[in-house]
Amino acid sequence: MKLVMKMKNIAAVALVAALAIGAGLSAQQGAQGGGAAQGGQGGAQGQGRGGRGGGGPQQPPGPPLIPATPYKPGIPERTAQDTVITNVRIVVGNGQVIESGHIIIRGGRIATVAAGVPASTQGLRVFNAQGLSAMPGFIDGHKHLNDGPQAESRGRSLLEAGFTTILVSGQAQGTLALAKRYESELNGPRIIPSGAVSVNMTPDEARAAIRAMAEAGVKHTGEIGLTPEPAPPMNEIETLRAIVDEAAKVGVQVNVHAVSSPAMAAAVEAGVRRLVHLPNKDWTSFEQAARVAATGSIVSGLIAFGAPTIDRDSPPPPGCPNPCAGAVVWPRDNTTRFRTGQPWPESIAGANRDAKGRATGTEGAYTILNARRIWDADPNHGTISYSTDQNFADLVVLEHELKSFNIVFSMADIHRIMGPNGARFVGMADQIGTLEQNKLADITLLSGNPTQNIYEMLTTKVVFKEGRLVIDNRPAPAPAAPAPAAGRGRQ
């Protein structure tokens, strides 16, 4: 038994080391101009507004930054325009890729996705996307955001990274308020609100909380935390069963925070079908993975939860008031950090520790291999979706998650995880997640080719949300050369 445990620990440490090496290599690739690591809001290779000094998170000095809007006349558009996007590579999201085609948007929905040129453009705005690639708007199935002065700049930052839908975990009142502001007032992604309920309540209290959530128009619980080790106690399971039962009656989706394999298995047996966090405390068994698959459950990523962020700048979103509430800010100084900006691995939340109490960082290995095992348990590969639960610079968060996915998943797999699987996790599989007829026209246009590697997915230039142009970061066209003056031709 000791030999087996020793081998497990060696495997975990080796994989964490490989992840760190991969981060270093990607930093070198970005420095050499690879992909979009240099693009976006400071980019994944951003040089930083926080300077190079200091080892911990720092707030930028000086007065508040420039207000975030307006940044281009007419954007964001308030109403959808009937549009045809032409000359574009289309990554549909279901495995199909059209190398050169067009997308027609009518009434905020996708009317046509086809190869070649449209038969007619009458009545349509023509958007020439030559050199760009279209993907479904990105979906984050678990993130914490708050309303307030920072909401405008943080919403635009998420859009600029390609995200059009976010399931926000929190209190019903706050998440509903944020959703309404992004619908009517601010430029930001679609917010799916959630409400709080706890397994520390009595079953009757939990049922009442679920009913109140539904009456407020909230259709998702926030993350419901279960005790991970050694396993959730029976009183938590009894309350969770009551939550699941009441939620089914009133149409609320239950999302559970289960960070160990026993907690994940207990949640599934209690009737939970949406799990936040991959297990990061242990190895998921074949039997546990098979049970997730057999019940149609989905685990919403956070695959990079335990992996360090290395040699990356995390500036606040442009235009965010100083300090930028909720944003995690740090300079680029080649130190290993947890998502809070504090030193890795000591600051990992609920860190795995050795017999002497030292944080081991093995979470970074467990999530990666558990993701692949849970994925392989389902022949249809519907068991893993995407979420971040991180609030440092949005483009850096995207890169950070993609690097861990890229160790054990292909680009086609990643597209499925971020597209249709993500849509199913948030309960919108019939509306978003793929570029198909009748779905909402949530479209991210990238300057890279996202079928090649993860860095090409960091190149968002244009975003449509329900057919409205909400981000356009294409370079301004060069001014036309002046015509020669009359009578000044060659003598």
DSSP string, 155-224: HHHHHHTTEEEEEE-S-HHHHHHHHHHHHHTS---EEE--B---TTS-HHHHHHHHHHHHHTT--EEEEE
Q: Which two tokens stand for residue 86?
A: 């032409």
The pTM of this model reads 0.86
Residue 480 confidence (pLDDT): 73
Residue range of the domain that includes 51: 2-66+141-152+160-194+277-431
Q: Is the peptide bond before 232 cis (omega within 30 degrees of 0)?
A: no
- Provide DSSP, 224-257: EE---SS---HHHHHHHHHHHHHHHHHT-EEEEE
**Considering only CA atoms, which of 308, 315, 309 is closest in space to residue 47?**
315
Domain count for the chain: 1
Q: Is residue 56 part of a domain?
A: yes
Q: Is residue 438 part of a domain?
A: no
Q: Is residue 363 part of a domain?
A: yes
Is there a contact between 424 and 472 (Cβ–Cβ < 8 Å)? no
**Considering only CA atoms, which of 172, 169, 145 is closest in space to residue 158?**
145
Cross-strand pairs, 384: 299
Residue given tokens 């970074």 in the structure block: 364
Residue 47 confidence (pLDDT): 34
Give the DSSP H or E segment for 87: strand 83-91
Is there a contact between 411 and 446 (Cβ–Cβ < 8 Å)? no
As a whole number, mean pLDDT of residues 368-384 equals 98
Residue given tokens 């930052």 in the structure block: 157
Residue given tokens 């068994």 in the structure block: 285
Q: Which two tokens stand for residue 314?
A: 């995390």
Using DSSP's 3-state secondary structure scheme, residue 72 falls into strand
Positive/negative CA dihedral, 440, 441, 445, 449: positive
- Cβ-based neighbour number of residue 110 at 10 Å: 22
Helix 151-160 to helix 394-408 angle (10° resolution) is 40
Q: Is residue 453 part of a domain?
A: no
Q: Is residue 332 part of a domain?
A: yes
Residue type, 384: I
Residue 276 confidence (pLDDT): 94
Check residue 477 and give left, alpha or beta (phi > 0: left; psi -120 to 50: alpha).
beta
pLDDT, tens digit (0-9, with 9 covering 90-100), for 395-417: 999 999 999 999 999 999 999 99
Q: Which residues of 353-362 are buried (b: 16+ CB within 10 A; e: fewer)?
A: eeeeeebbbb
pLDDT, tens digit (0-9, with 9 covering 90-100), for 5-46: 444 454 554 454 444 434 443 433 433 333 333 333 333 333
- Cα distance between residue 225 and residue 255, in whole Å: 9
Burial category of 201 from C-beta neighbours within 10 Å (exposed 0-12, middle 13-18, buried 19 and up): middle
Residue 20 confidence (pLDDT): 43
pLDDT, tens digit (0-9, with 9 covering 90-100), for 264-311: 999 999 999 999 999 999 999 999 999 999 999 999 989 999 999 999
Q: Is residue 130 part of a domain?
A: no
Q: Which residues of 371-385 are buried (b: 16+ CB within 10 A; e: fewer)?
A: bbbbbebbeebbbbb
Residue 75 confidence (pLDDT): 81
Give the DSSP H or E segment for 388: none
- Cα distance between residue 448 and residue 424, in whole Å: 26
Which ranges of 260-419 would DSSP assign to H, the alpha helix? 261-269, 286-294, 363-376, 394-408, 411-418
Q: Which of 21-25, 73-77, 247-251, 445-449 has the lowest mean pLDDT?
A: 21-25
* CA 324 to chain centroid: 20
Residue type, 197: V
- Cβ-based neighbour number of residue 294 at 10 Å: 11
pLDDT band at 477 (very low <50, low <70, confident <90, very high): confident
As a whole number, mean pLDDT of residues 317-323 equals 91
Q: Which two tokens stand for residue 68?
A: 């975030």
- Cα distance between residue 491 and residue 71, in whole Å: 47
Q: Is the peptide bond before 233 cis (omega within 30 degrees of 0)?
A: no
Residue 362 confidence (pLDDT): 98
**Considering only CA atoms, which of 449, 475, 462, 453 is closest in space to residue 160?**
462
Question: What distances in angstroms separate CA 64 from CA 10, 30, 49, one per listed residue?
Answer: 48, 30, 13
- Cα distance between residue 444 and residue 36, in whole Å: 14
Q: Is residue 366 part of a domain?
A: yes
Q: Is residue 148 part of a domain?
A: yes
Residue 60 confidence (pLDDT): 39
Residue 488 confidence (pLDDT): 52
What percentage of residues in the chain have a pLDDT greater than 90?
80
> Which residues does 246 contact at the CB level (< 8 Å), separation at least 6?
206, 207, 210, 211, 252
